[in-house]
Amino acid sequence: MVLRASGWSMGGYVLGQILRILSNLVLTRLLVPEVFGVMAVATMVLVVITLLSDVGLRQAVIQSPNGNVQPFLDTAWTLQMVRGVLIWLICIGVGIAIDQANVYGLTTGGVYQYPDLSLIIGAVGFAAVIMGFQSTKAITRARNLDLSRLTIIEFIALVISLVVAILLCWATGSIWSFVISSWVNALVLTVLSHTSLPGTNNRVHIDRKALGEMMSFGRWIMLASTFSVLAANGDRLLLAGWVTPTVLGFYVLAFNLVAMIEGAGGRLFSAVATPALSRVARETPEQIRKVYYNFRLPFDLFFVGSAGALYGGGRAIIDLLYDHRYAEAGLIIEILSFSLLVTRFGVASSVYLAAGRPQNLTILSFVKTTALFTLVPLANWLFGFEGALWAIALHGVLTLPILLYFNIRYRLNSVKFECVILLAWPVGYLVGHAFEMMVRHVSFVL
């Protein structure tokens, strides 16, 4: 079941990333680099608000013994709709706050002074309202590790939204093409979740017992999300106040390439590892360690090897994918590659959720957030933009001692495994370096 779910999840993810890369190649030639920096800030605001308001509805349905009971699902759906509207209203408020900060001279430059940024943030936030109506049948399918139709739905929505984005960019050359495509993506996902998935349709309903269970579980998820969203988006939040939209655009392109690899792991963590480990925790808890390392081995080989490959061939990847205007992103992707060495420990979070210990995530997220907002400004002050990049890539290392301490309870630590798996880095580096030499040779010949 896990292998089948992983195959669908990764297959959909890989195809989706290929489409995103191809569309990105087209869009970077239709738009100026600063557009990507501005859109990154607007998207970041939406993501931050979305995660700050996360009360763990999806995780509660997946983890709870009542996750297949309709009153429980209807309660989650009702809360989901209310949350979508609140997210949109807060996005509008943030846009107004940025405008006022510009009026009173509280911003000193950077992306925050881009014209119409506030309108773009508010418009992007409307996608949350649409997504709030998405059926909980999608969560139920994920809970049962039945990801085939979910993957197809996501792929269809992605294809349609990317086509819309490309056509609108070609016709208008406007940043609003991205905004409209985000609405289209949310609308297609929501409609198909109701019409193409079997099961009982949701209705507006609040069950007090279900609400109490969700709030009890969700308070820790909300705290963890509060810190994790700052840790995940604080880099762009800080850089947007220090660099120009063009430099931020370079950063976003490099960050997105690394995030594609991190996203593969994150997708499997949430779509496969958490449901699978939750089932193991409910039925055969003595198997947690075995299942954990069954997940860790392929994840770690992938992340550590990819880190080496990006460090060895990052510049060649940028040169191959984009034109000369984006060459500065090469150094950025090489530095950010080291973040993958920490990302590989994310499977442990699925164990904590499965075991009903979301407070562990809160502590880890707090430490990571504190490290980011302490080390990055300090490194930027001492060493400039490149120093800030190294701090962004490595600040997560400070969470590892705490994670290893938490793992003691579940007997998840193995010094031998952690040391041996690092051998994948030089292998990946040699592959990346060979790729760079090949690209240079081809470029020289041409």
Q: Which two tokens stand for residue 420?
A: 């041996």
Q: How far does the chain reach from its first CA to its final CA, in angstroms?
A: 49
Contact predicate 299/318, CB 8 Å: no
Q: To the nearest whole percent, how much of the chain has pLDDT over 90?
A: 12
How many residues are there in the chain? 446
Dihedral angle, C-alpha 247, 304, 438, 257, nearest 10 °: -30
Q: Which of 133, 251, 249, 264 is nearest to 194 (CA)?
A: 133
Give the separation between CA 350 and CA 276, rounded to whole angstroms: 9
Q: Which two tokens stand for residue 323?
A: 């034109």
Residue 375: what pLDDT?
A: 92
- Confidence category of residue 98, pLDDT binned at 50, 70, 90: confident
Q: Which residue has the tokens 């070609």?
A: 170
Give the separation between CA 249 and CA 325, rounded to whole angstroms: 11
Contact predicate 345/210, CB 8 Å: no
For residue range 221-262, list pLDDT tens digits in order.
666 666 766 777 778 778 877 777 778 778 878 887 887 777
Give the separation between CA 67 and CA 76, rounded to whole angstroms: 10
**Would the pLDDT of 32 be above 70?**
no
**Would the pLDDT of 87 be above 70?**
yes
* Beta carbons within 8 Å of 18's beta carbon, 6+ residues apart: none
**Would the pLDDT of 198 be above 80?**
yes
- Confidence category of residue 425, pLDDT binned at 50, 70, 90: very high
Give the separation between CA 262 and CA 13, rounded to whole angstroms: 11
User: 84-118 burial, b for 16+ CB within 10 Å, e for fewer?
Assistant: beebbebbbebbeebeeebeeeeeeebbbebeebb
- Confidence category of residue 423, pLDDT binned at 50, 70, 90: very high
Contact predicate 225/270, CB 8 Å: no
- For the chain, give the mean pLDDT: 81
Q: Which residue has the tokens 């850089």?
A: 239
- Rg for the chain (alpha carbons), in Å? 22
Residue 427: what pLDDT?
A: 93
Residue 184: what pLDDT?
A: 94
DSSP annotation of 241 reads: T
Q: What average pLDDT does the segment 272-284 reach?
A: 72
Give the separation between CA 289 and CA 420, rounded to whole angstroms: 18
Residue 9: what pLDDT?
A: 66
Burial of 307 from C-beta contacts in 10 A (0-12 / 13-18 / 19+) = buried
* Beta carbons within 8 Å of 419's beta carbon, 6+ residues apart: none
Give the separation between CA 162 and CA 185, rounded to whole angstroms: 9
Q: What average pLDDT does the segment 373-386 reach?
A: 89
Burial of 442 from C-beta contacts in 10 A (0-12 / 13-18 / 19+) = exposed
**Would the pLDDT of 169 be above 80?**
yes
Q: Which residue has the tokens 């302490």?
A: 374
Q: Which two tokens stand for residue 102?
A: 């510009």
Give the separation between CA 254 and CA 112, rounded to whole angstroms: 21
Contact predicate 55/218, CB 8 Å: yes
More confident of the two residues 393 and 329: 393
Where is 291: in which H helix or E strand? Answer: helix 288-321
Reduced 3-state DSSP string for 390-432: HHHHHHHHHHHHHHHHHHHCCCCCCHHHHHHHCCHHHHHHHHH
Residue 236: what pLDDT?
A: 77
* Beta carbons within 8 Å of 39's beta carbon, 6+ residues apart: 120, 175, 178
Give the separation between CA 273 and CA 20, rounded to whole angstroms: 25
Q: Quick one: CA dihedral 214, 220, 224, 227, positive or negative?
A: positive
Q: To the nearest whole percent, how much of the chain has pLDDT over 70?
A: 85
Q: State the number of CA atoms in the 13 A half-sphere of 265 facing the CB.
A: 27
Residue 313 is which amino acid? G
